[in-house]
Amino acid sequence: MEADIAALLKLLNETFAATIVVIAASMLLYNLTRNLRDRVARTSAVVLGCLTLVYICDVFVSLGPGISTYTATLRLQWIGIAFMPVAMLHLSDALLATTGLPSRGRRRRIIRLLYVVAAGFLLLAAFTDLLIQPVPISPEFFPGDELVGVRAGPAFLLYVVYFVIVVGVSLVNVGRARRRCLTRSTRRRMGYLQFALITPAVGIFPFSMILGPGEEYSLAGLLLVNVANIVVILMLLFLAYPLSFFGSRIPDRVVKVELLRFFLRGPATGLLALVAILYTTPASRILGLRGQSFMPFAVVAVVLLWQWFVHLALPYLEKRLVFSGEDYDQLEKLQNLSERLLTRGDLLQLLEAILAATCDYLRVNSAFVAALQDSEPELISAIGPIRPSQELLQTEASTLYDTLNVQPNGELAIFKWETYWIIPLFSTRSAERRLIGFMAIQARAAEIDLTTDDEQMLLTFTHRAEQTLDDMQLQVDIIAALEGLLPQISITSHSRSDIDFRRDRVRHSAANTAASIDMEQFKEQVWAALKQYYGGPGMSNSRLLDLNVVKAALPENDNNAVKALRATLYRAIEAQRPPGERKLLSPEWTLYNILEMRFIKGAKVKEVVTRLAMSEPDFYRKQSYAVTAVANVLREWELNQEQES
């Protein structure tokens, strides 16, 4: 009976050790891919790396390697054991620096010295018996297994002193960092972190060396190890939460949702598959099959059922764990907008399908839809070999507008133009229906010869084309509003840290100096303002209005902030102008030509591409360079303005 209990506890120990590896490695990868530029994320990765290595070695030795490999693995394990305390101290120092208390050199030098000490302990463990002394053991409950125990060497007491002092100082540092937090949420998270940092210490300290060789395989030792592993698993999950917020530029709500989805779809899936493997493979018979034969089916079934459960449960979990009532309602509206809003490509496909159905019904080859923008026709979608040129549409613009701009009475209005029958398309979103374009169908006869059924079907196609073209123009308005508003509502990491933590050693807020401008967000601001150069939220709500260089231009622009910003952007664009006579096809004039034609003159992309003789991908790439050049000029002017003031 006791042997069976010991075997079960040993299997549970292997399962928990593998679980710790999966969770720690997942957290490590999660941090590395999200915010590696943040110092807290980098140092926490070192801590998680040490923990992962220690438990990988535990899992490996549970597979039953030979004595020599077993011994080498136990020595290799000391990479994590030796470096974990100083990695924790390094993390605590990064947390202190985040709260505005960076090292003046003393803490940095101590940490570097302790890394050297840790390397010394590793060398002692790897190449001598001064720190650890591996000895073969034959446990009472596993007499046939080739196992290796570890006895403490003469230098082990030094490691214990090093471990206790360094881990203790680490916890004190995190406590200091917690007291420096200004907001309740950050203080609470730092408290979680202070408590959860005990996890690595409990997880990697070699308690078996205190118990004695082979004692970890007794019933009491196995029970103690399993309890410790359960605590480590829970604390690792607890540790992941506060660490995810450091260095993040996205709202807390998004961080929580990302973390929840990551753990449910990543580590949880891997753990369930692992459990299915561990507990089905040794079985003699399951449903009449050997355990090893049944195992692939079990793994696939567990993974599929778990993913199905996550799909069903995730909305409920997010609502209960992340969102309050009002927040969830707002998020639901945004999700509905995302689901209902079609892309331009979707709408063009729909228009093409409408035109194809119209041509099939009337037995003609060609048709097109054109939009009327400021009374100027623009070809939107066309099928068939016959289609008008843009020059013809522009030449006939006034004639088309006069012909088509008649108030509909619910009946089909159809006119002859060139070799087409044309039908006006009106917006359905206003009380007074506004002409927004027209649909043209290749004339199948010299005179319009539609039957009543033809007119009724064509009226149906016309209504669909009206709705699609109306949606396309509404989409343009929504995208334009988003391009102007999104850069204004983004919050930089600097402003968040200034709110969350004390900045005793910073004389001025970093967010108020040009030297600390986040260039990616600054470029977004410039891009939004240029896109809406002659009006829109990208100009009227822009944070660029707060620039000193813009405020300095107020007297010259009737003290109108938007006019001052427009004038400043114009100066920045002119700063890109090369000396000499302007040349459209000269490479050194490309950036200026794009800026002047696209934003100041408001030319369409196709027109700019044609005049500058470049492909659209090349245009968008160089347009990005041009906007970056304008942003760099504005930042340089802002720096000069601050120095003068």
Q: How many CA atoms lie within 13 A of 417 on its CB side?
A: 26
Instruction: Tell me the C-alpha distance between 82 and 66, whole Å.
Output: 25
Higher pLDDT, 353 or 244: 353
Is the confidence at residue 306, as pLDDT, over 90? yes
Instruction: Tell me the C-alpha distance between 523 and 519, whole Å.
Output: 6
Give the end of a domain, one of 475, 509, 541. Answer: 475
Query: What's the CA dihedral at 284, 288, 292, 296 to 10 degrees?
Result: -150
Q: What is the CATH number of the domain that holds 162?
A: 1.20.1070.10
- CA-wise closest residue to 77 among 58, 90, 64: 58
Per-residue pLDDT at 645: 63
Q: Which two tokens stand for residue 587?
A: 């490479």
Do 329 and 352 have their domain in common? no
Do 214 and 348 have their domain in common? no
Could you tell me if residue 465 is inside a domain? yes
Do 520 and 398 have their domain in common? no
Structural domain of 218: 2-249
Per residue in 509-531, pLDDT (tens digit) is: 444 455 556 677 788 888 888 88
Is the confidence at residue 251, as pLDDT, over 70? no
Report the domain count for the chain. 4
Do 468 and 430 have their domain in common? yes
Per-residue pLDDT at 210: 73
Per-residue pLDDT at 569: 93
Do 187 and 50 have their domain in common? yes
Per residue in 270-282, pLDDT (tens digit) is: 889 888 888 887 7
Q: What is the CATH number of the domain that holds 400?
A: 3.30.450.40
- CA-wise closest residue to 206 among 138, 146, 152, 142: 152
The whole-number average pLDDT for the span 454-477 is 86
Strand pairing of 376-383 and 367-373? antiparallel
φ, ψ (nearest 5 deg) of residue 462: -65, -45
Instruction: Tell me the C-alpha distance between 326 and 331, whole Å.
Output: 9
Could you tell me if residue 291 is inside a domain? yes
Do 52 and 136 have their domain in common? yes
pLDDT interval class at 237 (50, 70, 90): confident
Do 437 and 395 have their domain in common? yes
Q: Which two tokens stand for residue 195?
A: 């408590």
pLDDT interval class at 135 (50, 70, 90): confident
- Return the number of other C-beta atoms located less than 10 Å from residue 395's C-beta: 13
Pick from 338-342, 426-430, 572-576, 631-635: least confident: 338-342
Could you tell me if residue 520 is inside a domain? yes
